Amino acid sequence: MSNLDITFLGTSAAMPSENRFLSSIAINRNGTLFIFDVGEGMQYNFIRARFGFNKKTLIFITHMHSDHILGLLGFFQTLSLQGRHIPIDIYGPEVLYDFLTENIRILKINLSFSLYIHVIADKEGTVVTDKEYRIEFCRSNHGYNTISYAYCLIENSRPGKFNAKMAKELGIPEGILYQKLQKGEDIQFNHKTIYSKSIVGPLRSGRKIGISGDTRPSNELCKFFKNCDLLIYEATFKLTESNKAKESFHSTAYEAAKLAKQSDCLRLCLTHFSTRYKNLIEILEEAKSIFPCVEIANDMKHIFIPYRD
């Protein structure tokens, strides 16, 4: 079993507020950090979260707007000053490479770790594959001149439940034979074939976390976020300002909730709020009118993601 939890390091849109830094979300899976966007100020909350400076870290950039990337240089500087030595892989649109390499050169930032920049050029696909999970991406819609992506962390299916009582009744000794059965292999024991499916239940699904970035809702995203255990979606505006949402290629809380419902998500967490809203109760109630299992993100908010079973 793997721990999986989310910490919001920045939840404001466009500019920070007294209580909110700019966009950044950290997923911690068994000590591996997946960071989505690095807005200004996130490193302060990163330190507050006590993640440590030498964990395996992968960074994913949704798009190249300043409120989502300007924290990168300060973050890398802090990690270097703390003596980080583990490499970082970062993924994002093509101009991410020029942005990082030129600014690191101009500012003469001496990184203490290797930085591997991976350019995403396709409309959808898989950017990271591990034996236990994968990171998938899908083009989102944040304007005609902006290349933007949404991401999903998707765990692989887990083995079914092992019926230890039945195995003991059959006299099967614990150890390598148990392991083979759990892996789906049939075994020979006492001159008989013991079928894995007779002792091990059906595969159990892993967990799925969706990150919208800044975007208008779309049919493509609805399919991409299908069956998320948690969907983290931007809610820059209220429904009363839907015209502004359309003009700036953002979403309203109502639209976020509608998409979560259509995608059969279990939970929805709204983030990326315009600073014009001092009280987010109306945004929460707007979303709840469509999708009841919704909550509001605040800086340093922590969400644990359990297995469905």
**Which residues carry out catalysis?**
67
Give the DSSP letter of residue 300. T
In angstroms, rounded to a whole number, what is the distance separating the alpha carbons of residues 160 and 197? 9
In angstroms, rounded to a whole number, what is the distance separating the alpha carbons of residues 138 and 31? 26
For helices 72-81 and 95-106, the axis angle rounded to 10 degrees is 50
Per-residue b or e along 129-160, where b marks 16 or more CB atoms closer than 10 Å to that residue's CB: eeeebbbbbbbbbbbeeebbbbbbbbbeebeb
Is residue 236 within 8 Å of residue 199, measured between CB atoms? no
Q: Are strands 88-92 and 115-119 parallel, antiparallel or unpaired?
A: parallel
